[in-house]
Amino acid sequence: MRVLLGVTGGIAAYKVALVVRRLKEDGHSVRVVPTEASLHFVGRATWEALTGEPARSGTFENVPSVEHVRLGQRADIVLVAPATADFLASMASGEARDLLGNALLATSAPVMVAPAMHTEMWHHPATAANVATLAARGIHVIEPASGRLTGVDSGPGRLPEPEALVAALYAVAHNAQIDVTVGSGADHGWADLGGVRIVISAGGTREPIDAVRFLGNRSSGHQGFALAEAARERGADVTIVAANVSLPSGEGIARIDVETSAQLADAMRSAAVHAHVVIMAAAVADYRPAQTHATKIKKHGTGHTLELVETEDILASLVDSKHPAQIVVGFAAETGDDAGGVLDYGRAKALRKGADLLVVNAVGEGVGFGDVPTSATILDAAGGTVAHIEASKWALAHAVLDQVLARLPL
């Protein structure tokens, strides 16, 4: 499928990079046409690197190939995301003031637009009239999600998550009904976690061996950061304790960076004092070297024995010290073996830890870690299954928060 992707000048343009990547992973050809305004948010080089195609904006940048017509003619489907209020007005008026505007006038392919703007702009009568005009012409319009916007504002106007955009695009391509709730959080009440203070750990701890080496794990922090972003969208006051995570934290999320399990334990205990909900999504080392060397251990050709000692069980400590109304959620990354399966070990851990909820997921080489779909079972304190999710980390984050919300005191 040949996808023509228009990107206009909104801050949500950064999300669209993930749309491009997922379309390419599915084997589709993608050509990005950014407006000049959008290049203030995501540069041309990003689109060209992701697609392997030029990302031109101007009508006269490649005149001999007549791109202003050919792009629209050759597209199997067109998506404009984010679509700003200004661009919707231009599109409704049939203007062709740049390459994207020309391509839209020249295409006979299905067209889908994903508006994103501040709530007041979305609710303005002029925007509503423009959207109605486009819909009357057969343009597929995805309603924006509700959630945190630029600055301190929240409300309807947020660009849906990449999973929702891709799912909607495929629905349009197959002439099926669009489900804009897929992966978007749109099926959850806006601000249903308003006023709730949530502390989340993310990433993987590193236990130093010497000046250059450490014991670590493959945790990337994607699940913890998805939880933080989802909680913030639903109105929570979020603090994330990040163990060796390079991911950016969203606006309005307080962040504490740590390295070792001891540092993570101290930071979580301190932050949990005033929290309503504590979520331990970080992968914590079970062992640390008994001795740390201040300089690099040299290679002598005789081998080296490393003595390990157990680290603190942070989740158990948080459960023991929680106040009566506090909810504690743990994560258990498990692998099965001859003695039992992933869920067997998860249920045993749920009974042993005593957390209100335990999220059990299978991990290993290429499974569970990183920005990949996940399969997880949510258990209660007695080891009973309350939910099973096979979807994106974003969808799992909302499923966990749904269970948390159901247990919060009224």
Tell whether 159 and 209 lie within a shared domain.
no
User: Tell me: the pLDDT tens digits for 234-276?
Assistant: 889 999 999 999 887 777 789 999 999 999 999 999 999 999 9
Share of the chain above pLDDT 70, in %: 92
**245, 222 contact by CB (below 8 A):** no
* Residue 212 shares a structural domain with residue 329: yes
296 lies in some domain = no
Both 168 and 203 in a single domain?
A: no
What are the residue numbers of the active site? 217
Q: Are residues 202 and 145 in the same domain?
A: no
Give the pLDDT confidence score for residue 177 in this predicted structure: 62
Q: Is residue 300 part of a domain?
A: no
Same domain for 206 and 105?
Answer: no
Of 140, 173, 206, which residue constitutes the final position of a domain?
A: 173
Say whether both 217 and 151 belong to one domain: no
- Judge whether 313 and 363 are in contact, CB under 8 Å: no
Out of 23-32, 145-154, 190-199, 361-370, which region has the weakest mean confidence (pLDDT)?
361-370
Which structural domain, as residue segments, surrounds residue 110? 2-173
Question: Are 168 and 241 contained in the same domain?
Answer: no
Residue 321 has pLDDT above 90, yes or no: yes
Distance CA 408, CA 410 (A): 6
Q: Residue 374: give its domain's CATH number.
A: 3.40.50.10300
* Residue 121 burial by Cβ neighbours in a 10 Å radius (0-12, 13-18, 19+): middle
Residue 100 included in any domain: yes
279 located within any domain: yes
| Largest distance between two CA atoms of the chain | 78
Least confident of 18-22, 175-179, 317-321, 365-369: 365-369
Range in 113-127, 195-209, 267-281, 373-387 the model is least confident about: 373-387
Do 207 and 123 belong to one domain?
A: no
Can you give the pLDDT at residue 369? 57
Mean pLDDT of 370-388: 83
pLDDT above 50: residue 17:
yes
In this prediction, residue 13 carries a pLDDT of 92
Say which residue, 151 or 407, is predicted with more confidence.
407
The percentage of the chain sitting over the pLDDT mark of 90, rounded to a whole number, equals 62
Cβ atoms 158, 233 nearer than 8 A = yes
Q: Let me know whether 162 and 235 are in one domain.
A: no
Q: Count the domains in the chain.
A: 2
Say if 297 falls within a structural domain. no
Is 294 a domain residue?
no
Q: Are residues 225 and 347 in the same domain?
A: yes
CATH number of the domain enclosing 127? 3.40.50.1950
Residues 180/168, Cβ–Cβ less than 8 Å: yes
Q: Tell me: do 131 and 205 sit in the same domain.
A: no
Tokens of 235: 């109105």
Residues near 128 by beta carbon (within 8 Å), at least 6 away in sequence = none
Residue 306 has pLDDT above 60, yes or no: yes
Q: Is residue 274 part of a domain?
A: yes
Tell me, what's the pLDDT at 385?
93
Read off the pLDDT of residues 97-143 as tens digits, 9 standing for 90 and up.
Answer: 999 999 999 999 999 999 999 999 999 999 999 999 999 999 999 98
| 383: in domain | yes
Are 93 and 163 members of one domain?
yes
Residue 183 has pLDDT above 50, yes or no: no
Q: How far is CA 171 from CA 48, 110, 112, 178, in A?
A: 26, 11, 11, 6
